[in-house]
């Protein structure tokens, strides 16, 4: 899957979130889209496991307008387990990059678990991520990239490595 389909940079009321395309965004049949109040908007980003809190937050924040717009205009920005992984990568990128260079670490293990990689596949995934990140870091212009762009690239690398190892989210 391309970077465009996997990772979208979304700005919601000044909060920048990195989000992944959930399975429902690929299905175009009626009723297959996300629920705007539980799967989208600021509420879904803040309360990934508590549906009533996501709904309450979305309604209080802006009467659900942001959530409804995301659900209709860009359903790939709505929540899912990969969104949680994307936020984790965004928030811990520096530590993840350091641990990836070393080939192991707590943050790297957590990220792989978030992508559904079982313990017995994590060594293979870590090696693939390490190789791809080495190429990314060595590429011209890497040091000029914004932190969010580096995190988005790491997300894409992790997603591809997890998919090739048949990890499931």
pLDDT tens for 126-162 read: 999 999 999 999 999 999 999 988 998 998 999 899 9
Predicted TM-score (pTM) of the model is 0.58
Which tens digit of pLDDT belongs to each residue from 1-21?
333 333 333 333 233 333 333
Domain ranges of the chain: 3-79, 82-164
How far apart (Å, rounded) are the C-alpha atoms in residues 51 and 35? 10
How far apart (Å, rounded) are the C-alpha atoms in residues 141 and 51? 41
CA atoms within 13 A on the CB side of 5: 9
């Amino acid at each position: 899957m391309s970077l465009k389909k996997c990772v979208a940079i979304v700005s919601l009321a000044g909060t920048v979130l990195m989000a992944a395309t959930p399975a429902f965004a690929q299905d175009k049949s009626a009723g297959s889209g996300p629920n705007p109040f539980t799967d989208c908007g600021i509420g879904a980003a803040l309360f990934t496991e508590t549906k009533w809190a996501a709904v309450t937050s979305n309604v209080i924040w802006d009467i659900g307008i942001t959530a409804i717009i995301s659900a209709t205009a860009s359903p790939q920005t709505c929540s899912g387990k990969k969104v949680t992984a994307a936020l984790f990568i965004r928030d811990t990128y520096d530590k993840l990059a350091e641990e990836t260079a070393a080939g192991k670490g707590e943050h790297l293990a957590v990220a792989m678990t978030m992508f559904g990689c079982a313990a017995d596949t994590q060594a293979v995934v870590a090696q693939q991520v390490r190789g791809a990140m080495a190429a990314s870091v060595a590429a011209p212009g890497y040091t000029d990239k914004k932190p969010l762009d580096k995190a988005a690239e790491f997300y894409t690398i992790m997603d591809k490595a997890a998919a090739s190892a048949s990890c499931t989210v």
